[in-house]
Structure 1
Amino acid sequence: MPGPGRGNSPVVFWGLNVCVHPDRCSPQITHGQFDERYVLSSRVRTGRSIRGLSLPPACTRAERREVENVVVTALSGLRGDLSGKYYSLTSMTEREQQQLIDDHFLFDKPVSPLLTCAGMARDWPDARGIWHNNEKTFLIWINEEDHTRVISMEKGGNMKRVFERFCRGLKEERGWEFMWNERLGYVLTCPSNLGTGLRAGVHVRLPRLSKDPRFSKILENLRLQKRGTGGVDTAAVADVYDISNLDRIGRSEFLLVVDLLQWKYSLEEKLLTCLKCLINAPVMAVKIPNSGQAPKSRANEEGDKELSNPRAHGSL
């Protein structure tokens, strides 16, 4: 009997069905460099589920091990800057695991009730692991929230290079079919990831903007979302946030990355204007003297000094 994804199924690419998205993951970005005074790291990730095997909440131990075997075998054929090695959680020491987690390379054991009640931690850490290339810029998480989590990442703000690597990794032909639906797109464990499953994000330092009460609404209007430094259900450390696209379905991978880049231009280029508006806002409540000259508050004076010094804006 043929294995999952074989038989009469069409040959597909590692994670990308070219019959559906022929050019959607083509790295045609022309302006993909973030200002590294603010952006600490950039990443693009998605998930893929192997057709014929249950999703993690219903996955048996045997199916989970089959996922591990299928994925590791497929990845062993990658060459060049994508070639790498698989590391099973069962063979790692706790210290090695924690170091990878602290460096934002590896996932941790689920502790959220939402995940544990869904069976995500069942048989932990059996058949879980991470595959990464030698530079740790292209990674595959195996049997975390999804069968696979595909990640391209690096320090700094070169989103163009990160996305190009991401697309190349997805296009490596392996002959296995992934769960895909004509109406829903790629099928993943969390409904919020239906469609592309893609999340393009940056770790960015926002000490000023993050303290504004409108911060969440600003991001929502830009179709972006924020997470803590360590991801979902974590706090922001030293004002560093994980900012990424909010939408997953109904748009292509390329357009979702462009959305994030548009945020760079719409937010960074208007930052000084926005700050000046915030600083000048209290003046509206001050009674204007008969001379017609509005008194300058201390906030105004300090704000003008800061705005006149470009070096003062090393962080957003």
Structure 2
Amino acid sequence: MMRFSTLIKHPADWMTGGNVDNSIVLTSRIRLARNLAHHPFPGWARKEQRQEVMGLLQPAVESLSVMKDCFSKQLSDLDSVHKQVMVERHLISREHAARGEGSAAVIERRQSFAIMINEEDHLRMQAIRPGLDLQQAFSTLSDLDDKLADEVEYAFDGRLGYLTTCPTNLGTGMRASAMLHLPALVLSDQIGQVLQAVNKIGLAVRGIFGEGSESLGHLFQISNQSTLGESEQEILDRLIRVISQVEKNERYAREKLLEEDPDMVRDKVGRAYGMLRHAWLISSKEALEHVSMIRLGVDLGAFPEDTARICDELLMDIQPAHLQLHSGRKLSPEERDVIRGEIVRSRLQSLEAPDTGSLENQNNGEIPPPDLGLA
């Protein structure tokens, strides 16, 4: 089995884009909720019953070929910092991190698959891929799900589909989502209109860490809300269509900003560069906002393309638990701000000032208007 230190030593492909375009759609994630037949669901189970389910599921997941050399641990064997690091890496949920005996996490060595045992349901399985690649994420996770179904019996009803703790997950048990970087829609004050349109057609919009979290660094998570009465493919098709349209709206907003207010864009990108290159104390929220502007600058040609990878790594590495793991000790908020500043300055020390001449609209034709209806 893989050690925790080995797991987090290198960022996953989905964190840094791999070889796909992730300038707007950073990642695609599919999550499946499953429960075992003839066993009480986690919220109603006694500790002994939860441990029994964990004893059945953990070795079954570990035995899957895709999980060779995986990381596998009971949560009661991990300290709070290790669990929070996995939350920050989107490998387990905040709710799962709060659980103790009878819960476990099994994570594929490249972090493309992560399995939570005894979270809200007996199984919460996820696949993450870089860019807009929901179809492939679903295909690979569905294959894993089928193989696991050969080993254990799922709680399934012919009329309702997969039975889950929360009624909103009944049916397919699937949540599909994408993480989008939408700074231009925020700067142009269009984000509210776009997100309202997304909500009207039955999709959910959340912050960087999912339900109940705020949007930081202009990052938004868009996902399906209903899982009953539709097939997985119908859910995916609608979500892909909407996310593609939001991506077009963001692209349009970036072009429009350069056309109408290039000085504002230069100022935002230049200030972000100055702050990150020279700040000695910087909070997580402030750092994420500035990293977002650097990332935008990369897409607009103000910085070399490989700067995007540095930004994507920083999105994880400047989070509080990552800083504590890096330091090897518990840190006060003030100490975290100091170390965060050190890490950011170090990573960006060779980054030259932005090429402000590139921050002007290159589109010589008419910019097509966005479709805010998202039909």
Give TM-score scaled by structure 1 length. 0.69
Aligned to 1:156: 131
1:97 paired residue among 78, 83, 96: 83
Post-superposition offset of 1:307 = 9.0
State the one-letter code of the partner of 1:207: P
User: Is 1:74 aligned to residue 41 of structure 2?
Assistant: no
Q: Distance in 1 between matches of 2:139 and 2:69?
A: 16
When residues 302 and 179 of structure 1 are mapped into structure 2, their CA distance, relative to the original with a 3 A threshold, is same
1:97-246 superposed matches below 5 A: 97-109=83-95, 124-172=99-147, 173-210=149-186, 211-212=189-190, 213-246=192-225
Q: Deviations over 1:132-155 (max 9, x none)?
A: 111111111011111110101134
Q: Distance in 2 between matches of 1:141 and 1:246?
A: 20
Tell me if the contact between 1:34 and 1:159 (Cα under 8 Å) persists in the aligned partners. no
Aligned to 1:293: none
Name the Cα RMSD after superposition: 3.3
Bigger CA radius of gyration: 1
Post-superposition offset of 1:273 = 6.4
State the one-letter code of the partner of 1:139: A
Larger helix percent? 2
Q: Distance in 2 between matches of 1:92 and 1:81?
A: 20
Greater relative contact order structure (CA < 8 Å, 6+ sep): 1
**What SS does structure 2 have at the residue aligned with 1:171?**
helix
2:36 paired residue among 40, 50, 60: 50
State the one-letter code of the partner of 2:362: N
When residues 261 and 236 of structure 1 are mapped into structure 2, their CA distance, relative to the original with a 3 A threshold, is same
1:302 paired residue among 252, 257, 261: 261
Tell me if the contact between 1:50 and 1:178 (Cα under 8 Å) persists in the aligned partners. yes
Aligned to 1:288: none
Post-superposition offset of 1:196 = 0.8
Q: Distance in 2 between matches of 1:188 and 1:197?
A: 7
Q: Deviations over 1:55-92 (max 9, x none)?
A: 22211111111110111121132114666342111111
Post-superposition offset of 1:166 = 0.9
Post-superposition offset of 1:271 = 5.2
Q: Distance in 2 between matches of 1:181 and 1:163?
A: 22
Tell me if the contact between 2:135 and 2:236 (Cα under 8 Å) persists in the aligned partners. no
Tell me if the contact between 1:202 and 1:244 (Cα under 8 Å) persists in the aligned partners. yes
When residues 214 and 52 of structure 1 are mapped into structure 2, their CA distance, relative to the original with a 3 A threshold, is same
When residues 271 and 89 of structure 1 are mapped into structure 2, their CA distance, relative to the original with a 3 A threshold, is closer
Give TM-score scaled by structure 2 length. 0.59
Post-superposition offset of 1:161 = 3.0
Q: Deviations over 1:251-282 (max 9, x none)?
A: 11122122221113333345566899xx8xxx
When residues 35 and 244 of structure 1 are mapped into structure 2, their CA distance, relative to the original with a 3 A threshold, is farther
Count of paired positions = 249
Q: Distance in 2 between matches of 1:56 and 1:81?
A: 24
Q: Deviations over 1:206-261 (max 9, x none)?
A: 22435433233211234321111011111111110111122211111122122221
Post-superposition offset of 1:101 = 1.6
State the one-letter code of the partner of 2:185: L
When residues 148 and 167 of structure 1 are mapped into structure 2, their CA distance, relative to the original with a 3 A threshold, is same
Tell me if the contact between 2:24 and 2:247 (Cα under 8 Å) persists in the aligned partners. no
